[in-house]
């Protein structure tokens, strides 16, 4: 049976399994709940919107199929933020597939050695490579809120992972 979208899981990183502490480190058992507000980033405070703010999060893509490798996996931004005052970019983690990603000291510290991309749509996807069954790959997300940003209630982003499977 081929790998389906339901076989690809998204997990927080770090020891506590909360979005605020998803700053790299080991994969956590806590999965990111799809279509849930603030499932990776917190609410932008009025002080952050006024001054501008850049934050980082790390999550893992896990192939949860029982036997098949997710081949030629790619990650991209399907739907970027609708707010004109916010920008999202993604990057592959620096650790190998099934490795433990670097940990940053706080949400404002940029991870080292990553290459940021707007990865806008499938034609601009980042190539992950193969993810064997039961293994994972780290993905970093950067959220930049511009100075003097307007309030925006439903700011969000949709990140997609796709790949092939053996026939």
Residues 104-120 pLDDT 10s:
999 999 999 999 999 99
Q: What is the mean pLDDT of residues 121-144?
A: 97
Residues 7-26 pLDDT 10s:
999 999 999 999 999 999 99
DSSP-derived letter for residue 25 is E
Residues 26-46 pLDDT 10s:
999 999 987 666 789 888 888
Q: What is the percent of the chain with per-residue pLDDT over 70, rounded to a whole number?
A: 97
| pLDDT of amino acid 150 | 86
Query: For 117-132, b where at least 16 C-beta lie within 10 A, e where not — what string?
Result: bebeeeeebbebeebe
| pLDDT of amino acid 67 | 94
Whether residue 148 is predicted with pLDDT greater than 70 in this model: the reply is: yes
Strands, E assignment, 3-146: 8-13, 24-25, 27-31, 53-63, 70-79, 86-92, 101-103, 126-131, 136-145
The tally of CA atoms less than 13 A away on the side-chain side of residue 110 is 13
| pLDDT of amino acid 43 | 84
């Amino acid at each position: 049976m081929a790998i389906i979208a339901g076989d690809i899981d998204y997990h927080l990183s770090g020891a506590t399994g909360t979005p605020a502490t998803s700053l790299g480190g080991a994969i956590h058992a806590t999965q990111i709940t799809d279509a849930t507000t603030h499932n990776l980033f917190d609410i932008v405070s009025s002080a952050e919107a006024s001054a501008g703010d850049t934050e980082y999060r790390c999550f893992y893509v896990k192939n949860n199929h029982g036997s098949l490798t997710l081949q030629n996996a790619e990650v991209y931004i399907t739907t970027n933020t609708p707010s004109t005052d916010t920008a999202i970019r993604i990057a592959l983690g620096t650790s190998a597939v099934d490795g433990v990603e670097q940990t940053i000291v706080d949400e404002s510290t940029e991870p080292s050695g990553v290459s940021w991309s707007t990865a806008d749509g499938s034609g601009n996807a980042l190539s992950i490579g193969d993810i064997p069954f039961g293994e994972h790959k780290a993905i970093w997300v950067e959220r930049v809120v511009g100075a003097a940003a307007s309030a925006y209630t439903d700011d969000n982003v949709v990140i997609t992972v796709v790949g092939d499977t053996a026939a």
